[in-house]
């Protein structure tokens, strides 16, 4: 039983390390991080206003909110500008959800 738990923890650790390396590769590449920033700006300015109730209901889920906030905190350690853009996008989406 203990070996199985260690194996599971080892797999989770490997997966998280892989995700961390991929995120660092994206953050370190100026073209990729600028593409992410442009996508966030386009999402905030053009996509959020046309979202319907069903799509906005996803933001009302506490698990989704926790994941997004954790992503913002994680990203703030690597790239503050993108973390701020993600925060603004998230807040605009929350505001739109309360507005409708």
65-76, pLDDT tens digit by residue?
Answer: 999 999 999 999
> 């100026």: which residue's tokens?
30
Please state, in angstroms and rounded to a whole number, the distance separating the CA atoms of residues 11 and 55.
Answer: 33
- How many other C-beta atoms lie within 10 A of the C-beta of residue 94? 16
DSSP secondary structure letter of residue 61: -
- How many other C-beta atoms lie within 10 A of the C-beta of residue 22? 10
Supply the pTM of this predicted model: 0.82
Encode pLDDT of 43-88 as tens digits.
999 999 999 988 988 888 999 999 999 999 999 999 999 999 999 9
């Amino acid at each position: 039983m203990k070996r199985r738990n260690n194996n599971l923890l080892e797999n989770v650790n490997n997966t998280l390390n892989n995700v961390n390396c991929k995120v660092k590769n994206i953050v370190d590449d100026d073209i990729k991080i600028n593409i992410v920033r442009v996508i966030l700006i386009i999402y905030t300015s053009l996509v959020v206003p046309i979202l319907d109730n069903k799509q906005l209901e996803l933001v009302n889920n506490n698990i989704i909110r926790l994941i997004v906030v954790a992503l913002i905190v994680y990203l703030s350690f690597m790239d503050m500008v993108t973390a701020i853009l993600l925060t603004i996008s998230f807040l605009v989406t929350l505001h739109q959800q309360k507005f409708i």
